[in-house]
Structure 1
Amino acid sequence: MANHVPTGSPASKPVTVALLQAASDSGDVAANLRRLRRVAGEAAAAGAAILVTPELFLSGYNIGDRMWELAEPADGPMAATVGEIAREAGIAIVYGYPERVGRDVHNSAQAIDRAGRPVANYRKVHLYGAEEKRLFRPGDRFVTCRLEGLGVGILICYDIEFPEPARILALRGADLLLVPTALDRGTQEVATRLVPARALENRVAIAYANHCGIENGYLHAGLSLIAAPDGAALASAPADGEILLVAPVDMAAYRARDLHYPYLAERRPDLYDGLLEQVTARRDAANG
């Protein structure tokens, strides 16, 4: 089995990334689009080339059956407005929204480039908890795209808590993972420990954009961060309060140090067939 290592060149200059930590106006798409317009202008003024929002930011996260009412196709009115915002501000935007595909609804995130054109749409693969599983159909693939000279992969919240998706995206050439999130209080170690480790083990930067505050009884954890490929926090947010994090990501500088962390090059995929085993099979063997 070949040991594939990405060969694409990262951007030669640092790319400044912004993420929004905020409480959505629950169920009010128009209000959330107005806020996105304001924040996109602020991020662009701060020199950012890419902006990422929290999970399901345009609809709100904890809105129950209203999710089905607000869901739109990937090329619907929400996408058209975000494209207009991106074009006017001159910034690429990755935003979370409920996507309608026929009778199904997905928990999705779409990437729009600075010219207002859609370049990638990702549907959350790992749905978290009974409510997400009730509302959404899971996605069935991982996606990468190019934004501002970087290879970009998109994951959503719970996806980053599994090692395999981030590794797949890194092997496909992602330099930066953008992760719209709705992490709740009580699981803060995901933001403080797991996300930095995921960045280091894959030699990618990660922008992890969470909600904050209480939304219809759901207490969001905040703690958004931009992690460097060595796991260091380039910018981090507190648990509470709206904040726009902005940080430059110099992938060329980190790639120059990859010889010290040759994790992708020294993988042994010929021995990793066990990753395809079902958990039940493992338990049966252990109990045999």
Structure 2
Amino acid sequence: MSFNNSQNIINNLLNEIKAYSFKLNEYTMCGISQNPDTNEYVIVFQKNCNCKERGDVGTDKKFEWCRPCQISDLKQNFSSWTSGNNKIDNFMEEMQLKIESHNDIIVEWIPYNQFSIIEEIRNGDFARVYLAKWKNGLLEYKEGKYKRNPSKEVTLKCLNNSQNVIDNLLNKVKSYSIKINEGNIAKIYGISQNPVTKDYVIVLPTDCNCKKCGEIYTNILVKWCKPCQINNLKQDFVNWTSGNEAIDNFIQKMQLKIERYNDMVVKWIPYNQFNIIQEIR
């Protein structure tokens, strides 16, 4: 990278240099030089630091990914798709332009005919949840370019009567993340719409939603669902008793206070479960 007439703008040169790193695997600058014929100063980088399209330093050297180029491509592609609703289109465009890394999810408007329903997971009052296959599949950045991962299994969360409450739909979408590396936050692939019911559909990975109730896991990493656990504990109340109503109620309340997958579930334990080893005191 050279600076025209840079002998007169040393400060600009030095400010430019401050933006780069001297650490390996980043946008590593090797040094500074000067063309003796033009007197232009030259910033010297490692090989493959620069975007092949723009010539400027790329955003991710390791994966040869350039955010400005990707943002430009996304903007140019805005005219090739529409949800049919300006508010949803604008919202999704904003989500796409939030990408900062090669492995961030590019949230898409996905035509409903892209899905093949495998099975219904849940049919609730507010939503129906399905396991499905997405024919074209997710856009993933591999080997220096975006490629589709066809026949990808996804979860479809169909929001009942959502065609009349767009703001509610978008607020739900905001609770999801496009960051692959944010382990315990549910990810989102896109939005669709059932052409028959007109209900909007949130397209999600299969590992974010509880297989039993269809809601997002309370802890995605360990696939633990608090509502289901609470329900299981309540159903189990009839299977044990201390013989004392006050103690039973106390233990039940203790059990229903669980907040995390590794919280202790306090139980009534029959005494015949114990083998005495020794008296401590």
Scaled by the length of structure 1, the TM-score of the pair is: 0.25
Name the one with the larger helix percent. Answer: 1
Name the one with the larger strand percent. Answer: 1
Q: Which has the larger radius of gyration?
A: 2
